[in-house]
Structure 1
């Protein structure tokens, strides 16, 4: 497990996370119960993941009912950072001198962790400034890449010295963007010299679009590494292409969970290149504070942050070489990629500490000959997901509750019948 502090991660997870796991589990169970029509309590989500009309784009974000713009920070270090030997990684690079273009709903520069991370005013294609964000999606994405450390929280960006330039292609107060404004943003970002571009959106209904395809191809020719979210419609496990993640030259990112397995919602497909943490992702929100959310939207900037670290350490490497290093050093599911997590779950420290010059594309591991004594990687199995466990737990809770109701009701009937018989006997005796 190159670069992944597995034992330390487990120990820290037990000490840091177990205190809250019971409460989170109950909250999720209650959410499942509410979804099945059993009303426990309700609260409107801050941000809905519904996208614009066909031809536009939708966001890979699961809304958090605990999120408050301008709220508090989360004190503990998130699990997505606990899994990394941070000192070893940041001893190699911190992203200094590297700018990442974030094509999203804008980035709110007033958050204290992002105030010093912004590189200029950015550009907007809808009403409102590029460094404003009324929906919060782009602000979360930017924080995962380059949030600065502050007192009171263990969260900071993967590349805490990198810079962010915001291209607000959608999320205006009176106007939503579409594939055209996204294509314009990609063009402008690449023409301005951006070498790393993060796109945490996909087109509505997974529709290909020639304008968007051409814009991506031109940006790739200019040397930009486009990191894109794979999409969140993968709960059925079926393969489907999403765009722009499926276009040639784009590094497509699936979401993984705490067990380094595919998150149940992450879109599967042969286009998937790597996976990265995308469950319970802590990040910045507009005004100040943090909250958590799920989605490939937040796995993509995790990878973009690592790409920024590699760009700082190896400024002459091409986009293909950076992508290849990320893919080659991922924790592989087998000899080669699969349609769920691509070449595997990203290993940031392994990517940073391997100083050999990468090729322009990854290659499968060689086959192990019989009797050679080599170790054959274990294939990934699709076990029960966290959501499935929560649904199963909810069913148990409902079943237990119904059983208790039946027991109580049955006991009441039995007591009533016993009293009736006793009164009847007393009447007959008298």
Structure 2
């Protein structure tokens, strides 16, 4: 068990929790975490995870493997089962447990870390491991399981290694989730250092809120994938979260930016249960802290602002829009017409200057002559 990190993580220091949670902490909202499983032993997650709704979509580990031994111990403790069809609470990797913690970790004495929606419920769905056993097919199955278990938000902190067609099974599963009015949040990917603009899936599918990673300065983290599919950015550097068995650790990646946004989505769904998934996504994008007046391929519509998203919400918006300054036209100094000839004002200024100079010279001459005449008259 890792030690608890006592201080308040930087990504939470910028939040005024009295304003963020003045109406809700996400109670009643079910968030599916499609990942490497979610540990339900960590004290901050044991009351957050709905084991009965979880599932394990991976085949049983080979006998004698370290993963098999770990799952066998979990099964013996009644905390998981060692083959496909389990409850999704075995997380040998720890990735899914970190993701779930950022969304819904409960407050705990001795640490400043807490989830953004600490009363939301996590549906644990295990469909990947450290060997990359997850496939587009298992991810599609995971999405359909989340639909079946009445998720209101789905977080997918994974992406495929190759482009998928619009009629692929994964694309169909995403459309089914959107049709069921579920907010689908996905990480944009961590290949930003390669300088190759590429789409990642399911993040790039229409309707999915793709999340890039930002740093402490609200700038794109160097590793964060760019592209025209990026919706918003969220903290993804030095992120504190829960780990299996207990305690917390620090990690980096868009994998941990996405659940930050999923937590905000859970809060909005709890406060505005009648808002559609598209309106929830638009609210997050519209209230983001922008570097430009519109969107760009680096941080989308801006860095998510949880407090503003939960307070600047008098009415729903159906799509994000550029700032008023952009839609109203340019704001700055008006261009000056190029003058090829001297203007009247310039001519008058020039003449006045000449007159003053001539007058000054004449005064000097008169004064000089007067002095000469005076000197000659002296005996």
TM-score computed with the length of structure 1 as normaliser: 0.68
Structure 1 distance, partners of 2:26, 2:316, is 20
Structure 1 distance, partners of 2:310, 2:103, is 16
| Cα deviation 1:150-209 (Å, max 9, x = unaligned) | 11110010111111011111228x992211110001012113321100000000245557
User: What does residue 117 of structure 1 align with?
Assistant: 48
User: What does residue 269 of structure 1 align with?
Assistant: 227
- The Cα shift of 1:237 comes to 3.6
Q: 1:98-117 counterparts in 2 under 5 A? A: 98-117=29-48
Matched, 1:280 2:238: yes
Structure 2 distance, partners of 1:357, 1:236, is 41
User: What does residue 24 of structure 2 align with?
Assistant: 93
User: What does residue 203 of structure 1 align with?
Assistant: 160
Say if 1:239 and 1:339, in contact at 8 Å, map to a contact too: no
Q: 1:36-55 counterparts in 2 under 5 A? A: none
User: What does residue 10 of structure 2 align with?
Assistant: 79
| Cα deviation 1:101-145 (Å, max 9, x = unaligned) | 000000000001100101233111013340110000000000000
Matched, 1:147 2:105: yes
Say if 2:42 and 2:247, in contact at 8 Å, map to a contact too: yes
Structure 1 distance, partners of 2:312, 2:255, is 27
| Cα deviation 1:254-301 (Å, max 9, x = unaligned) | 000000000000000000000000000000001111100000000000
* Structure 2, gaps ≥5 residues long: 61-81, 334-379
Say if 2:239 and 2:256, in contact at 8 Å, map to a contact too: yes
TM-score computed with the length of structure 2 as normaliser: 0.77
Say if 1:324 and 1:360, in contact at 8 Å, map to a contact too: yes
In structure 2, the CA distance between the partners of 1:246 and 1:108, relative to structure 1 (3 Å rule), is same
Structure 1 distance, partners of 2:164, 2:280, is 28
- The Cα shift of 1:316 comes to 0.6
Structure 2 distance, partners of 1:355, 1:301, is 21
Say if 1:202 and 1:242, in contact at 8 Å, map to a contact too: yes
Structure 1 distance, partners of 2:280, 2:125, is 23
Q: 1:7-86 counterparts in 2 under 5 A? A: 70-86=1-17
- The Cα shift of 1:92 comes to 2.8
Q: 1:1-400 counterparts in 2 under 5 A? A: 70-121=1-52, 122-126=54-58, 127=60, 128=82, 129=86, 130-171=88-129, 176-208=133-165, 210-366=168-324, 367=326, 368-369=328-329
Say if 2:102 and 2:259, in contact at 8 Å, map to a contact too: yes
* Structure 1, gaps ≥5 residues long: 1-69, 374-430
Say if 2:123 and 2:151, in contact at 8 Å, map to a contact too: no
Structure 1 distance, partners of 2:331, 2:306, is 33
Structure 2 distance, partners of 1:360, 1:175, is 37
- The Cα shift of 1:335 comes to 2.0
Structure 2 distance, partners of 1:327, 1:152, is 34
Say if 2:279 and 2:318, in contact at 8 Å, map to a contact too: yes
Say if 2:192 and 2:223, in contact at 8 Å, map to a contact too: yes
Structure 1 distance, partners of 2:316, 2:193, is 34
Structure 2 distance, partners of 1:321, 1:220, is 12
- The Cα shift of 1:372 comes to 7.4
In structure 2, the CA distance between the partners of 1:208 and 1:155, relative to structure 1 (3 Å rule), is farther
Structure 1 distance, partners of 2:49, 2:160, is 27
- The Cα shift of 1:93 comes to 1.9
Give the number of the structure whose alpha-carbon radius of gyration is greater: 2
After superposition, the CA RMSD in angstroms is 1.7
Q: Which secondary structure does the structure 1 equivalent of 2:266 belong to?
A: helix
